[in-house]
Amino acid sequence: MTAVSSTNVRLHTHSRHPAGRDSGGVLVRVLPVAAVLCIVVGGCRCPNRGQSTPPEAKAHAEQPQTPAASLAPAPAEAKAQPEPFVKLGEPVSLFDGQTLGQWKITDFGGQGDVSVKDGAIYLGMGNYMTGVTWSGPVVRMSYEISLEAMRVEGSDFFCGLTFPVAENPCTLILGGWGGSVCGLSSLDRYDASENETTRMMSFEKGKWYKVRLRVVPNRIQAWLDDESLVDVDITGRRVDIRIEVDLSQPLGIATYATTGAIRNIRLTRLPEQAR
């Protein structure tokens, strides 16, 4: 209110003098008063007076807004399905003859030495069992495994091949129970010495024998030197293993108190309709 009264006085004084006299003084006094009025009036209209806009907000305001569509996450790329490591009808080697590769020594406890020499895996005689277990991918149905096996020393089985039958394991025994029993362990809880697959065979030390095993729906077959060794329908049967070879799952080879050698291990996938 004081500023307004001063203005009225000066304006009255200004009217008493001719034009141009003391006009500079009037203007000098009027302008500050007007400025004060603007500040007061402007302050009433702007509740945020005295607050400057942060630099970040200015920069954000100056940037063009990105369309909403471009903010949506990009669709995830479809993952490529891995191809089976074994193609139909094409044998794949599971042993290169130089290193164990994906074969791992089975920790049975009391096992003998395992070594690779002369293109074969040697499973040394231990107090109990010695073997190797496959750590790579496996085929569980409609396949064949072929290999060559040899008894080096000892008088028990020199090849106990544990293999998958769908989700169940089974073992093909060569030369067990004193050195001559062959067959599958186990069918309906009966091992290779007690079920219909039992065969008595004579094996020479230091001789390589060709072994071929086939697993298809409802049937297991095996050949020794191209002669039929096992041919059994497993429809409705309980297929299993003995507890001694539990660590050989899903695919493994072992010996029992015997030195054996294994070479030329190959796997072949078969068509689903194979019988």
- Tell me the per-residue pLDDT of 128-147, one tens digit each, with 9 for 90 and over: 999 999 999 999 999 999 99
Asked if the structure places residue 189 within a domain, the reply is yes
Asked if the structure places residue 18 within a domain, the reply is yes
Share of the chain above pLDDT 70, in %: 68
* Total number of domains in the chain: 2
Asked if the structure places residue 83 within a domain, the reply is no
| Same domain? 140 vs 40 | no
Residue 123 CB partners (closer than 8 Å, separation 6+): 112, 114, 130, 131, 132, 253, 254, 255, 259, 260, 261, 262
| Same domain? 245 vs 172 | yes
Give CA–CA dist 226/214, Å, rounded.
12
| Same domain? 110 vs 45 | no
Assign 84 a pLDDT band (cuts: 50, 70, 90): low
Asked if the structure places residue 73 within a domain, the reply is no
Q: What is the mean pLDDT of the chain?
A: 79
| Same domain? 117 vs 18 | no
Looking up residue 225, the CATH number of its domain turns out to be: 2.60.120.560
Q: What is the pLDDT of residue 250?
A: 97
pLDDT tens per residue, range 32-71: 444 433 343 344 343 444 444 444 444 444 444 444 333 3
Judged by average pLDDT, the poorest of 27-31, 62-66, 201-205, 234-238 is 27-31
**Which tokens in the block code for residue 52?**
């400057």
Q: Are strands 252-256 and 159-165 parallel, antiparallel or unpaired?
A: antiparallel
| Same domain? 43 vs 99 | no
Asked if the structure places residue 182 within a domain, the reply is yes
In terms of residue numbers, what domain contains 153? Answer: 92-269
- Residue length of the chain: 275
Asked if the structure places residue 131 within a domain, the reply is yes
**Which tokens in the block code for residue 213?**
């095993």
